[in-house]
Amino acid sequence: MRDLSLHLMDIIQNSITAKASRIYITFDADKSMDILKMTVADNGTGMDEELVKRVMDPFVTSRDTRKVGLGIPLLAASCERSSGSLSIDSAKGNGTVLMASFKLSHIDRPPLGDISETIATVVSSNPEVEVEFKLTSPNGSFEFSTEEIKQKLGEVPITHYEVLAWIKEYLNEGVKITFGGVLDEIYS
């Protein structure tokens, strides 16, 4: 995976497969601690203790088309490459919380990537899932919630082109203001 937004998309897919109706995503850039933290929390079916232990193994997957599942191992590799770590907290029936951390200034830390495209794509094909997104950095914070948007929209579906285009621009602006552009990422 080239950047965090692609990893994020992959992890969100797991949540959707686990029948989550609510997904809460946060990015937290802490310059003083030099850590970038990504969390994805959902209210899906969750995993039992035994599966949580095995899920980092690339030869564990819930699907039946193949014997390998690389989503989580790839993210774990990205974390470890940039002296971070990945942890997963889950209980059957209680949803899952995934936390990935990276050293913010590490040369191998994947860039944030196009977060707005990831979220817009997820929203457009899973309109019934509520997505909450929060980005925090020393420059401030930015929040986004599909619930709020749906309330404003009323009977207009969130999957309408105009709405999706707006979501994308809104997210892009928010990410740019709070996280800065590419240069900010490099000099952070």
Partner 1 sequence: MKSIAELEEIRRKTLDEINMRKNKDGIRIVVGMATCGIAAGARPVMNAFLEELKKRNISNVNVVMTGCIGVCRLEPIVEVINPDGEKVTYVKMTPEKAARIVAEHIVNGRVCTEYTIGAAEK
Contact residues: partner 1, CB under 8 A: 1, 6, 9-10, 13, 17, 63, 65-66, 69-71, 74, 117-118, 120-121, 124-126, 148-149, 152-157, 160-166, 169-170, 173
Nearer to partner 1, 109 or 168 (CB): 168
Quote the crossing angle between the two packed helices 146-153 and 161-179, to the nearest 10°: 140
CB of 43 to partner 1, least distance (A): 20
Nearest residue to 76 via CA among 84, 67, 66, 68: 84
> Whose Cβ is closer to partner 1: residue 71's or residue 188's?
71
Question: Cα separation of 161 and 76, whole Å?
Answer: 35
State in angstroms the smallest separation of the CB of 142 from partner 1.
11
Instruction: Report the side by side order of strands in the sheet with 22-30.
Output: 85-90, 96-103, 35-42, 22-30, 130-137, 140-145
Nearer to partner 1, 31 or 160 (CB): 160
Nearer to partner 1, 10 or 89 (CB): 10
Question: What's the alpha-carbon Rg for the chain, to the nearest Å?
Answer: 17
